[in-house]
């Protein structure tokens, strides 16, 4: 299993350009997530998808759109990139499991995409 894969690993954009970050998982997980990581702020949720065909906004959705293409793939699109979107972007997936009588949902993360907007 490759787990969660992300492409590209690095990207430099000019202000106003658009791009799509790709994410795929091979663990048959239902839920998928996009986060951004900025120094001192931990990870903040941009969008998530609880199941194929559904998406919902997270904490910082402005300037982004997502597509849950199928169960495996969840893409993040920047329509008009801004310098404030310079960040490291992480995709994650999760599945609910019953452990010791409790439902638990553990997220597994991809390696990240480092994006710079000039």
Which DSSP state fits 84? G
| Torsion over CA: 79, 85, 90, 93 (sign) | negative
- Which is closer to another protein, CB of 22 or CB of 108? 108
Position among 23, 34, 94, 115 found at the interface with another protein (CB under 8 A): 94
Residue 78 contacts another protein per CB under 8 A: no
Determine the size of the site formed for another protein (CB under 8 A): 32
Which residues, 6 or more positions from 108, have their beta carbon under 8 angstroms from its beta carbon?
3, 4, 25, 27, 29, 92, 93, 94
Least distance from another protein to the Cβ atom of residue 3, Å: 9
Euclidean distance between CA atoms 118 and 114, whole angstroms: 13
Look-up of token digits 């949720």: 45
Strands 64-68 and 56-57: unpaired
Residue 64 contacts another protein per CB under 8 A: no
Residue 112 contacts another protein per CB under 8 A: yes
Position among 23, 60, 66, 110 found at the interface with another protein (CB under 8 A): 110
Question: Which residues of the shown chain bind another protein in the complex (CB under 8 A)?
Answer: 4, 30-31, 33, 40-45, 48, 50-51, 58, 90, 92, 94, 96, 99-112
């Amino acid at each position: 299993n490759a787990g969660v894969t992300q492409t590209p690993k690095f990207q430099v954009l000019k202000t106003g350009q658009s791009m799509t970050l790709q994410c795929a998982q091979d663990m048959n997980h239902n839920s998928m997530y996009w986060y951004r990581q900025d120094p001192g702020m931990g990870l903040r949720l941009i969008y998530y998808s609880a199941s194929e065909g559904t998406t919902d906004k997270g904490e910082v959705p402005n300037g982004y759109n997502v597509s849950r293409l199928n169960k495996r793939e969840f893409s993040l699109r920047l329509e008009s990139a801004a310098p404030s979107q310079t960040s490291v972007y992480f995709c994650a997936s999760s599945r609910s499991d019953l452990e010791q009588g409790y439902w638990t949902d553990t997220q597994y993360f991809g390696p990240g995409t480092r994006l710079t907007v000039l």
